[in-house]
Amino acid sequence: MARQRIETGSSFEFDSFWRVGDGSDSAEDAQGRLTYDPARGIELALVDLRTERPNVFESPERIPVLHGHDLQGKPCTIFDAIATEIEGNLFGGHIREVLTSNRLVYGAQLNSMDDLEVGDVLVDLWGLTEWVNGIWDGRGPAAPEGDRRFSPLKRRLAALWPFQHRADAPVELPEGEVLNVPLDGAHLILQRGLANREGRRAQHTREAHVTAHFVLEQTTTYQDFTERFVRPLQDLMVLTRRSQSEVDAITVLVPSKEEKWWDGQSLRVPKDVSVIERTRTDRPSPPGKARPQIPMPLRAWGDSAPAFLAAWFTLRHELGGPANLLFATLNKKDASLEDDVLNLLSVAEGYHRLRFDEPPFSDEDHDEVLALIRKIDDKVRRDHYLVRLRYANEQSQKQRVKALFKRAEKVLPEAESWRRRQLQPLIDTRNFLTHWGEPTRHVLEDWDLWFALNRVRVVLEVNLYLDLGIDHKTISRAVNVAYHGREFMGPA
């Protein structure tokens, strides 16, 4: 029987023995069967885990920690299990329970996730293999000579054949098996194996599975590791592939010593501990075997790839909350026009504030005005104006979004018409959805809103690429590949 993959992205099941991890000595471990599905999470069916039948009239009791092991003796931990089914006689007999959970640690028995020291980790992500192995053909987007705002006929012809080949462009980067990227506090090692995702020997380099190996300078907690390293890499997959990304597997390599049977000496052998988590209820289906062209593959960065990767992790950390909201919006399964307009405009405002903030006046001049307000004797009036003027020395949302559009125009001249025709309607739509007053005639709906939102997304993507220092031609080509043939890419 083939060995099952015990990882977040694959379904699996195994027989096992469990006890409540409260430090008490129970007479026997309860036998059960653990089943995991990426969309539904963990289900554990057990017999006689607890000797007393839970009260059916009370809400299910949460079991903070369950310790167990499989039939091969591999230790396991389940956190925050809740009983969803209970069967058994009220006056004796056996009790069968079905527990559900969203987190399993396979390879260690822990009392808390903080007990797991993380310093050496292997991470598998949707799209990482395709991104690393993706081909960059070095062709740039076609543009007729002269003004980019050309006739409809020429625009249709350019859409049919959007690339012009440069004879001196490199087709592929040198074939390396490892890329070592120094990060702040860690090294990221992108490793290409010999096998494909299914474990069979890869017939071509593009099929060889790629894993991200993080080696930290100092051990940290699992939560800190995922926030600092896994999330930025996952978000980079969403940005550069313009496609959803999910965690397939996280395996922590824990140092351990084993005694060699032939000479009695100790041998350092890393122990693998897999963390299985369901972090969302709308997990999409895995990507198919089709290989669409990657808009911005690793090869597009050439010899500068390590520098761009390091810059991305730094940038992602600096952007914090706005980036969290941006990629939560881009990486979700289903879109909602009203939610997305609020989210993306909030992202644009917060992103601009963190990166390009230009207050209208100096802090001294602003404080001088506030000092005048504080001299008002009437407390009601004084407090009324102080609250409203406290943040008056900031750019408006429209000014901030406008600045991002103008920055993107250096790469996409079409963005100028987007800004002139749809910026104010976007702000009006956001204000209407926030305050629910009378809608102005500029409030966008349906297709108009969908067009405008996609243009905001393109503008944000271009700005992020510019922050990394990527050249305009490479960005323009990536946008052309990502949105080729989409009607919203034309002038507004």
Q: What pLDDT digit, counting tens, does each position of 15-43 carry?
A: 999 999 876 666 678 999 999 998 889 99
Give the pLDDT band (50/70/90) at residue 62.
confident
Give the pLDDT band (50/70/90) at residue 207.
confident
Gap between the Cα atoms of 299 and 74, Å rounded: 40
Ramachandran category for residue 169: left, alpha or beta (phi over 0 → left; psi -120 to 50 → alpha): beta
The mean pLDDT of 79-93, rounded to a whole number, is 80
Q: Is residue 318 helix, strand or coil?
A: helix
Gap between the Cα atoms of 294 and 242, Å rounded: 8
Gap between the Cα atoms of 57 and 218, Å rounded: 48
Report the share of the chain in percent with pLDDT over 70.
83
pLDDT at site 168? 35
pLDDT at site 265? 60
Pick from 173-182, 223-232, 471-480: least confident: 173-182
Distances (CA, A) of 380 to 368, 371, 385: 20, 16, 9
The mean pLDDT of 194-218, rounded to a whole number, is 86
The one-letter amino acid code at 28 reads E
The one-letter amino acid code at 48 reads D
pLDDT at site 136? 83
Pick from 140-149, 237-246, 274-283, 360-369: least confident: 140-149
In this predicted model, what pLDDT tens digit does every residue of 87-138 receive, in sequence order?
876 666 788 889 999 999 999 999 999 999 999 999 999 899 999 988 887 6
Pick from 210-219, 286-295, 361-370, 455-464: least confident: 286-295
Highest mean pLDDT among 54-63, 236-245, 284-293: 236-245
pLDDT at site 24? 65
Determine phi and psi for 440, rounding to 5 degrees: -80, 170
Residue 163 has pLDDT above 50, yes or no: no
Q: What is the DSSP letter of 195?
A: B
pLDDT at site 152? 47
Residue 289 has pLDDT above 80, yes or no: no
The mean pLDDT of 65-74, rounded to a whole number, is 94
pLDDT at site 239? 96
Whole-prediction pTM: 0.84
Question: Which residues partner with 216 through β-bridges?
Answer: 186
Gap between the Cα atoms of 88 and 307, Å rounded: 61
Q: What is the DSSP string of 113-147?
A: GGGS-EEEEEEEETTHHHHHH-----PEEP--SS-
pLDDT at site 233? 97
Residue 407 has pLDDT above 60, yes or no: yes
Q: Which residue has the higher pLDDT, 418 or 49?
A: 418
Are 171 and 137 spatial neighbours (Cβ–Cβ below 8 Å)? yes
pLDDT at site 454? 94
In this predicted model, what pLDDT tens digit does every residue of 244-262 receive, in sequence order?
899 989 999 998 755 555 5
Are 462 and 391 spatial neighbours (Cβ–Cβ below 8 Å)? no
The mean pLDDT of 208-215, rounded to a whole number, is 93
Residue 148 has pLDDT above 90, yes or no: no
